[in-house]
Amino acid sequence: MPSYSIIENFEVHKNNRFLEIAEALKPELLHKEIKAEKEIMVEKDRQMRTVITEEHPIENLYAKSLKRDDTVFVDFGDHAVGYVTLELSKTGSHQDAPVYFYLKFGERLEEMTDKTADYDGWLSRGWIQEEYIHVDVLPAKVKLPRRYSFRYMELRVIDTSAKFQLKINGISCDTVSAVDMESVKPVDFGDPLLNQIDLVSRKTLKECMQDVFGPKRDRRMWLGDLRLQARANYYTFKNYDLAKRCMYIFAGLLFNEGKLSACVFTEPEMEPDDTYLLDYALFFSSVLLDYYEATGDLETLRDLYDVAIDQIRIAMTQLNEKNVVEDLGDAFWCFLDWGDGLNKQAGATAVLIYCIRYGIRLAKILDKQEDISWLEEKQAMLKEAAVKEFWDEALGMFVSGPDRQASWATQIWMILARVFDKETNCKLIHHVMEVNPRIRMVTPYMYHHYIDALIRCDEKELALEEMKRYWGEMIRDGADTFWELYNPYNREESPYGSSMVNSYCHAWSCTPTYFLRKFYMDNEK
């Protein structure tokens, strides 16, 4: 089902001082040229999985002359984000017609055998990384203007003419990022799989650190993603200016009633999307406190404090007569997870309680006594209401919505909100694992919060095993960078109607490096 928001009477209220601060923090991107490594042959096996049947040095491809309907596949050897250049020439007689060819870029090998003509999802097919190109005069150096996120490339010659053939003399990519992988020292966690998970996490984060934090496909910045990316950044690349820039962009582009947009476009100019997600807006208090604890930047905290607290005030206006968040059903009003059929009411209430705790901590730093009293009062009220409205004694779990749905997401957020004490929360998380509610987690975003809940319940070893099981299985399935969505029960699941437009380098998936470096190193913080 399509998930988007269009707000009527949408108004943008810009804070030019905040936006000027953000612009001054815009990073100068680092460039590194990499070259295609191998020519590969791919096909689907009997289980309909895409496999490499042959691979050859890239020089094998450069020795070929390509004619109509010839197709070649290239492997760059690792995931890359950047701008591709093709060096082309010809063989045969004079070029008497344009050469016409098709390119497709993929992060996963499966994308090389996907038939994009069959795409029928609801997300724009414009996100599929493919191009149709004419070149009138050879030789030529074709620099593609779009930024691609990929490892594999397909080139299919649609036509030349009977008199000449196409030759490829070189394929390279000018990769770009705000950070350098070599700036972070590897850590030996005593397990090769954990070391690999840490590496792929950092690679995922690095690829998504451009002029803002954000997943590769969207070319925009989401507030919920920013929260997790920034946490991982503080324990790896330590690019504090980029995190600060992103916060000032969000705070500088408020809309109706002072709300924070769920995401912000950065081109052709800074502009908030007309999408409001209750949980994403609330997380600004968490983003701000995380930044302050990493940097001690009190000036930024003072600047952005009111924006953070206002999101809590706005959320409090969305409570019903039972003092829990009003259930808006299937409308795109709260994210939590992509899980099919997931009811958001109880989880949204828990996120509000969770973020009030961050608001209290912010208020205490600035000695805002009136805010502290108000927030503590509302926190106590909401916890009492959440237990009264959502706790099902017979099930031993929290339920949500008119159908009294029990889901993983609801239990995890109630644990993180500390509605119960730690001992009760620990019993709850084990009960959930035993029962395994039908509405499961399907994104690394939600799995992050599951790992967080386990650690907060003093289940560090179990959290480690779950990280190895989930992110480790993604690596075994071929991940060079971690994916937007990964359901081990359905590897082709997509919230968009087709996995062809899933993102396979999605920075909300990068947080194992945060957990590993914060909780599993000798110098724990």
pLDDT 10s digits, 284-301: 999 999 999 999 999 999
Answer yes or no: pTM beyond 0.85.
yes
- Residue 417's nearest CA partner among 343, 325, 333 is 325
pLDDT average, residue stretch 415-441: 97
For the chain, give the mean pLDDT. Answer: 95
Q: Is cis: bond before 145, omega within 30 of 0?
A: no
Residue 525: band (very low, low, confident or very high) from pLDDT cuts 50, 70, 90: very low
- Residue 524's nearest CA partner among 240, 460, 457, 516 is 516
pLDDT at 453: 98
pLDDT average, residue stretch 177-205: 97
Asked whether 164 and 91 are in contact (CB, 8 A), the reply is yes
Q: Tens of pLDDT along 148-170?
A: 999 999 999 999 999 999 999 99
Complete DSSP assignment for 238-285: --HHHHHHHHHHHHTEEEGGGBPPSEEE-SSS-EE-S---HHHHHTHH
pLDDT at 10: 86
3-17, 58-72, 226-240, 366-380: which range is least confident on average? Answer: 3-17
- Residue 328's nearest CA partner among 392, 278, 399, 272 is 278
Asked if residue 85 has pLDDT above 50, the reply is: yes
Tokens at 353, concatenated: 């309680």
Residue 487: band (very low, low, confident or very high) from pLDDT cuts 50, 70, 90: confident
pLDDT at 281: 98
Which of the two residues, 20 and 48, has the higher pLDDT score?
A: 20
Q: What percent of the chain has pLDDT over 90?
A: 90
pLDDT average, residue stretch 77-106: 97
pLDDT at 524: 43
pLDDT average, residue stretch 404-427: 98
Alpha-carbon distance of 355 to 466, in angstroms, equals 25
- Tokens 């009977």 correspond to 162
Tokens at 262, concatenated: 């769920």
Three-class SS of 492-506: CCCCCCCHHHCCCCC
Alpha-carbon distance of 449 to 455, in angstroms, equals 10
pLDDT at 4: 64
Asked whether 77 and 116 are in contact (CB, 8 A), the reply is no
Asked if residue 357 has pLDDT above 50, the reply is: yes
pLDDT at 321: 98
Asked whether 308 and 251 are in contact (CB, 8 A), the reply is no
